[in-house]
Structure 1
């Protein structure tokens, strides 16, 4: 990412760290911890907020009007649906063959119909994010001519999306209901990109007071999900503005691998949660959670660093790179 996106690069690294922390649960007791509840209060809204920011950053007003729908969506199929098809299928085989049905939220059987269900209606675990983001891109690219209008219509559109997410019927197909819900945060990310200078000026003027205040509010685990998510996003923005000028190049380079970490961290974390934890029941579960976090973040990065050296060797290696977010 360019120099202007140092802040957003940091935010993607931060959000990815939160995801790996959230997935480091070994037993259900982990979900009673403050850190788990805090992470889940805002980490996914933050991801969609950042995706909306990048959408507007990549397509400013002059480019948005000339954006062609089908070429744009073809890129999103490669970026989102190909990894989804591959990784969701791999996890499907593992879970349907080796995990007892009573341990799964949506039980799987090793059959074609169950696989189709996992692809179109009930993605496995964290994989719901990919079809959800794809549907959001469909929605916003169709409405691209109305994105850069006056601020009142923009804010009205975001508020309408929030309202729709609470009143519309549940539609599981391709995560449509979930996409509507997170579209509001995606829209907020677009607004932040458009009005970034003004918003940052306000945040920086009172940065330390707002940083401490937003963290205190966020850390108190507000019972209102929408408010908790918005406060968490504000906290993340202020943190990124404070850290931005102090960020080392190495930290920013990590943002090149955040998508790969998101896609592949499940596998080392599943290995720790399953066979390793069951083989050593006497070991403290929170020690395993720490191991899960370290391996879940570091192994995909190590894989990405090594794979980038051979990625362009031929068509096959480039295709595999697409499947794992490189």
Structure 2
């Protein structure tokens, strides 16, 4: 089976759906182990109970925490890589239309989810005091007083990277030099320049542009994917090799950040191909649930992280980690439970929006008929 050539609706590549699934699971795992996070206006710093169950430091939970530390080194660059690959599937079109599309897709959720979900839920999760919450909201909308974008920083960072990236490609188009390798080289320069010389932090532009190099790498990958396939046997060997390397030399590789990211991206692509028969099986047998899950991947990203603080607060304040069952339930809720809750929230919001849209459509039709 040629996994990399399975295309739907002309431009949809199933390989990228599979990578999105893995990347989303990785980001949930990466956010599912922390007990301490400190920001300019809030944070948590939970201490494990003295009567902690041995299960918490047993093989399963310890292995999971190691996995969380590993995927955290590359899970966000992986999203930028994937965004670049998807961007390369079809012509970009006019710049104004592109900016309008990405504003609707990224900036509106960035603002609405922050104001109506992230800040209230994190407040309930003891992340903010009342005064800290007000300061965090002010800094969120002004860009001053500390960074309080939380996990939503990715949306604004991706927005900046996409806009600058498209501007670069448009300029190179006019110069007839728009080869993906040239674009990647320029984006690496932009990335390094932003780290060293861009000091203003309004809407995180100074830190956002670091990731443009990974977006450009994904764009280059898509141009190569069209010409080459990824053999299934090679994907298995690559996945096993990278896992073994990390198990044997994790302390050596981890400090080398870019190497860790590239290895993680390669691993994610290979793992997507390895798991492709499973994805196809689930799709064929449970098509409706599979399609809904793919549809809700963005919702999982939007809603999962604030829910983590609620889970931590409940389990630590109620001393539920003193038993083995409590430890297993804690692991379940911070991973699968969070995913299910995020999907449920996404479905509810979609249902409510459809009802509101339907109501306005009926009202508009009624007014038209009267007139």
Q: TM-score, normalised by structure 2?
A: 0.71
- Report which of the two structures shows the higher radius of gyration computed on alpha carbons: 2
Spell out the pairing of 1:1-326 with structure 2 (5 A cutoff). Answer: 2=8, 4-25=12-33, 27-28=35-36, 33-57=65-89, 60=90, 63-64=91-92, 67-90=93-116, 91-95=118-122, 99=126, 109-111=132-134, 114-121=136-143, 122-145=147-170, 146=172, 149-164=178-193, 166-201=195-230, 206-219=234-247, 220-221=249-250, 222=253, 223-247=255-279, 248-249=282-283, 250=286, 252-253=290-291, 254-283=293-322, 286-287=327-328, 288-305=330-347, 307-309=349-351, 311-315=353-357
Note the residue ranges of structure 2 that are not aligned, 5 or more in a row. Answer: 1-6, 37-47, 49-60, 361-371
Q: Distance in 2 between matches of 1:149 and 1:79?
A: 26
Aligned residues: 306
By how many angstroms is 1:313 displaced?
A: 2.9
Worse-superposed segment, 286-295 or 71-80: 286-295
CA distance change for structure 1 residues 296 and 186 in 2, over 3 Å: closer, same or farther? same
Q: Distance in 1 between matches of 2:299 and 2:127?
A: 28
Worse-superposed segment, 31-40 or 176-185: 31-40
Q: Distance in 1 between matches of 2:351 and 2:140?
A: 33
CA distance change for structure 1 residues 97 and 8 in 2, over 3 Å: closer, same or farther? closer
Q: Distance in 1 between matches of 2:208 and 2:127?
A: 30
Question: What are the Cα deviations for residues 59-115 of structure 1, in whole angstroms up to 9, with x where unaligned?
Answer: x3xx33xx222222122222111111122223334556873669xxxx96343x642
1:321 corresponding residue in structure 2: none
By how many angstroms is 1:309 displaced?
A: 4.9
Secondary structure of residue in 1 paired with 2:229: helix
Q: Distance in 1 between matches of 2:351 and 2:313?
A: 32
Q: Distance in 2 between matches of 1:25 and 1:156?
A: 36
CA distance change for structure 1 residues 149 and 33 in 2, over 3 Å: closer, same or farther? same
CA distance change for structure 1 residues 199 and 160 in 2, over 3 Å: closer, same or farther? farther
By how many angstroms is 1:141 displaced?
A: 2.4
By how many angstroms is 1:305 displaced?
A: 4.0
By how many angstroms is 1:39 displaced?
A: 1.2
Secondary structure of residue in 1 paired with 2:132: coil
Q: Distance in 2 between matches of 1:117 and 1:93?
A: 15
Instruction: Give the root-mean-square deviation of aligned CA atoms.
Output: 3.2
CA contact (8 A) 2:165 2:187 kept: no
Secondary structure of residue in 2 paired with 1:195: helix
Note the residue ranges of structure 1 that are not aligned, 5 or more in a row. Answer: 319-326
Worse-superposed segment, 294-303 or 88-97: 88-97
Q: Distance in 2 between matches of 1:12 and 1:157?
A: 26
By how many angstroms is 1:192 displaced?
A: 0.9
Q: TM-score, normalised by structure 1?
A: 0.80
CA contact (8 A) 2:80 2:212 kept: yes
CA distance change for structure 1 residues 227 and 165 in 2, over 3 Å: closer, same or farther? farther
By how many angstroms is 1:166 displaced?
A: 4.6
